[in-house]
Amino acid sequence: MGRSEVTVLRLEQLEAQNVARGLKARAYAAGFSLAGIVRLGPADSARVYDEWLARGMHGSMGYLSRGAAKRHDSRLPFPGAVTALVVAMEYGGREASGPVARYARGDDYHDIMVNRLRELQDWLGRRVGASVAGKAYVDTGPILERDLARRAGLGWAGKNTCLINPDIGSFTFLGSLMVALELPPDAPFEADRCGTCTRCLDACPTGALPAPRTLDATRCISYLTIELKGEIPERMRELIGDKMYGCDICQEVCPWNVSFARELTEPAFAPREAVGGKNARTLARELLEMTQEEFSAAFRKSPMKRAKLRGLKRNAAVVLGNIGTPDDVEMLTHAVDDAEPLVREHAAWARERISSSRPAGRR
């Protein structure tokens, strides 16, 4: 069946309500922390998104502008879909802070969540007695996920731009299952519970949150250490501190997370051996010495593969430039001869930074 031939299934009102309740119950049973249903249509935040793109705050993430038209209307990514199940899955907001953002320490959430959403789609088909056309999306399609999640009742967009739920905070992944099946929607989340708090804006070390709910990705540590494929601007390197991959600062300081973030319960998101329990300096040194073969083995099924080894070595050099000691100069000298120009440039910067620094109080 082609997309142009998708048949929208309609049930009797009572049956549709029962199916919706059953679908959300199955979502919770599958390990999702939140689940809600939304009717697809024009995105409430499309205008704000377009303005954000026009200001160039997406940096080098060109894919965000290429899919802008489809993001305006959630019916467009999968033609024929009229309803979406929107889910959130926690990834351990109570985990200790570290050089790698909490979301990236275990297995890739994309695969885990998509597979479970597809299982829910199969369950829908068995429940209604007919094949239900649809598609699962987890942070990969042209969709304004937070817009859908708010309309599905899962929470509100916080001043740090993350979706915040009043019961569990914001350390969650978002996903959606768009289906050609009409189901009754849940009530949207209408409240804004950030109040006058500006802790996330005040805590950001790079000033990536210039205003409430406005993220300048070009200054965001997550962008600089993951999405940016070239050189990290020198003016930003010192501000990155010991962050190797991603950043959780704007979430860590949020009162909703301080009070309500929960322990990690999904085994797939538990820190892998390559990053678990390691401080920034140790991890940086290991990455700088890592071969491509070792990297592929250590980070198999990891979201950290997105930055590739060259990007992680770049980040490692910056971290050593910020927190390293004279004992790291020799390693950085070796990295200056790396095959990758990107690694060589950042290693040279880090070596010079360490070599030119003097211990406090020494003249």
Lowest mean pLDDT among 172-181, 287-296, 335-344, 352-361: 352-361
pLDDT at 363: 30
Q: What is the total residue count of the chain?
A: 363
What pTM was computed for the model? Answer: 0.95
Catalytic positions, written as ranges: 139
pLDDT at 313: 98
Packing angle, helices 280-289 and 308-323, rounded to 10 = 140
Indicate the fold that domain 272-355 takes in CATH. Answer: Leucine-rich Repeat Variant (1.25.10)
- Per-residue pLDDT at 358 exceeds 70: no
Confidence of residue 64 (pLDDT cuts 50, 70, 90): very high
pLDDT tens, residue by residue, 102-123: 999 999 999 999 999 999 999 9
Q: Rounded to an integer, what distance in angstroms lies between the CA atom of residue 323 and that of residue 225?
A: 16
Contacts by residues 222-227 (CB-CB < 8 Å, ≥ 24 positions apart): 222/101, 222/246, 222/247, 223/59, 223/61, 225/307, 225/311, 225/315, 226/306, 226/307, 226/311, 227/59, 227/60, 227/61
Q: Rounded to an integer, what distance in angstroms lies between the CA atom of residue 38 and that of residue 184?
A: 8
Confidence of residue 68 (pLDDT cuts 50, 70, 90): confident
pLDDT at 357: 77
Joined together, the tokens standing for residue 18 give 């029962």
Burial of 204 (0-12, 13-18, 19+ CB in 10 A): buried
- Per-residue pLDDT at 251 exceeds 80: yes
Hey, CA dihedral for 210, 188, 142, 164, is it positive or negative?
positive
Joined together, the tokens standing for residue 279 give 């401080």
Confidence of residue 67 (pLDDT cuts 50, 70, 90): confident
* CATH 1.25.10 domain span(s) along the chain: 272-355
Of the candidates 135, 113, 131, 112, the one whose C-alpha atom is nearest the C-alpha of residue 123 is 131
pLDDT at 359: 54
pLDDT tens, residue by residue, 85-98: 999 999 999 999 99
Question: For all residues of the chain together, what is the average pLDDT?
Answer: 96
Mean pLDDT, to the nearest integer, of 4-32?
A: 95
Joined together, the tokens standing for residue 274 give 């390559």
pLDDT tens, residue by residue, 316-355: 999 999 999 999 999 999 999 999 999 999 999 999 999 9
Q: Which amino acid is at 25?
A: A
Per DSSP, helices labelled H in the chain are 13-29, 46-54, 63-66, 68-71, 109-128, 145-151, 199-203, 221-222, 234-240, 249-252, 255-260, 280-289, 292-298, 308-323, 329-335, 341-356
Joined together, the tokens standing for residue 114 give 């998509």
